Structure 1
């Protein structure tokens, strides 16, 4: 399977016509591997549109270097800009121009932002990584449940058709238990991959966006306490709306000139909102994932103590999830009349 085919497969998830009526995975797994890629694809689209139909960076050098404005903007967009930590504190319009922007100091700590061109690729790569476990599960599952439960996802099924389908379901449930165990093992292996994908993507965010989870926490805390001024100040560390940039050029005599430019970053207004959402969303996914793992562990222990087959329990749960209550009750009654003939 090529990268192109995987990207097309992820894009297909945005089409309702591609979504099967039969559900073979848990709520948390679907959130991680299907809902999250869709969200990331929408975000990458928004960022791309903003870049195509607007200038993501606008720099203002000294008037004597105005002819180099385009080159300065290109350089600052590719190699990044910076703010000064000491200027994060002050009054805008009096002691500072903006949070992180002020007069030059002898001793200053610069905070660089070098990720601008990586936002869209990062969102796309994250979407692919999140979707990968669902892709593996779809390949391994092979549509077996979709074929098994075909035409029985509605309570308004004809009696003759249901009788035939019920017999087929009973034969499958009473079939070799090793098939059920293999089915369950493959599914929970994919769930484990989804958790690894989640942790990997969180680590990737931390690497690309300058220790994202630590540096952005004060901004999130300020937002939760409705302190929007503090939020703007702390958010400027990663997503400044205004920053400085140094551009080096040769003068007429061949000496190196340093041009100090002040840049506006309207793109970061969009980035800020996107990554605030992702901060909350990914942490929520972590809590839901570990809670789900705990529930699965408890179920395994319970079924083991009751000497019940866990694989059979997983298959039975999927069938219950996709049948209407009326058909489930009828299937249970029919199963009571038939004892398993193969263990």
Structure 2
């Protein structure tokens, strides 16, 4: 377990090169690692502890037989029994002496697959990051050239600045596809988090969409007037039917009550995931809207440079944003995130000066 936790912790290590946005990091760092931690907690309770305990009156049968059978073949509750008075009509919400009709039975099988489903969800959250990492190809790492330190000889600094300027000048108009691949990965992150909400709703038999709202409403109302949604979706006590041969060779039916302590953990995990996925989906949607505005408005791109890089002259910002494409602008913006502010100011000014020089050369040629 400790090895697994250490593996999760590596995703939080600070990276020397920043290639994406903070909201994008929430997907492949915060959400990815949180889900893996939840998986470790569930695995520890499921495979080390006792995820289910069933009470029975089977003579000569060990407890492990019925526990294993009910864990494998699922358990059930009686829906109408959730509305009955506990201690008077029923011993526990959802547990009734009569089985009831097929429509009145709610079967629970998901708890066997929760850990596997969470691992699959974690992989999906990391997939856009893996895709962008392969597409980015280490471009920012190569262009940074240790210029984030700011402490180096004048000759070394000038040489690296000249190399960066040469690359940016010779490869203008070639970075649109590179930038739009990153924007596409952010869009994939939005599709993923929305799709995961639908996935969990299907996994929990259509109960996940309103799970968080139902929990809030339940806490604000009289407990006797409402069914606890956490107990309804993640019951702590259920029933299980076990069949065996009797002494005379006839099939005997035995109803047992099963306690599911693992669901106490499950209900807390999914209430956290419900709120977090809603928040993450809203933030990512706002990010996509922000990207659309950034792509379509050069004034917004200029404003972003002004508020994030105060040392740069406004005249230089206007020149760059007017004459550089969205992809070139975004690459330049990310370079500024990764290198020393003073050095970036010099590089930016030189690029703006070269725009003037190029225009003058074209006039002389004409």
Find 1:302's aligned residue among 297, 304, 307.
297
State the 1:157 CA deviation: 4.6
Please say if 1:36 is aligned against 2:58.
no
| Greater relative CO (CA pairs within 8 A, separation 6+) | 1
Contact 2:147/2:157 (8 A) holds in 1:
yes
Alpha-carbon separation, structure 1, partners of 2:28 and 2:256: 43
User: 161-170 or 48-57, which moves further after superposition?
Assistant: 161-170
Superposed counterparts of 1:36-115, under 5 Å: 36-61=31-56, 63-65=57-59, 67=61, 69-104=63-98, 106=100, 109-115=104-110
Match of 2:185 in 1: 190
Match of 1:269 in 2: 264
Contact 1:222/1:230 (8 A) holds in 2:
no
Q: CA RMSD in A?
A: 3.0
Please say if 1:315 is aligned against 2:331.
yes
Contact 1:176/1:342 (8 A) holds in 2:
no
Alpha-carbon separation, structure 2, partners of 1:164 and 1:190: 34
User: 264-273 or 156-165, which moves further after superposition?
Assistant: 156-165
- Structure 1 88/17 Cα, relative in aligned 2: closer, same or farther at 3 Å? closer
Larger radius of gyration: 2
Match of 1:4 in 2: none
Superposed counterparts of 1:157-176, under 5 Å: 157-176=152-171
Superposed counterparts of 1:226-237, under 5 Å: 233-237=228-232
Alpha-carbon separation, structure 2, partners of 1:35 and 1:278: 12
SS in structure 1 of the partner of residue 174 of structure 2: helix
State the 1:215 CA deviation: 5.6
Contact 1:152/1:323 (8 A) holds in 2:
yes
State the 1:341 CA deviation: 7.9
Alpha-carbon separation, structure 1, partners of 2:236 and 2:274: 19
- Structure 1 189/333 Cα, relative in aligned 2: closer, same or farther at 3 Å? same
Contact 1:60/1:263 (8 A) holds in 2:
yes
Identify unmatched segments of 5+ residues in structure 1.
Answer: 1-7
Match of 1:332 in 2: 348
- Structure 1 257/289 Cα, relative in aligned 2: closer, same or farther at 3 Å? same
User: 100-109 or 146-155, which moves further after superposition?
Assistant: 100-109
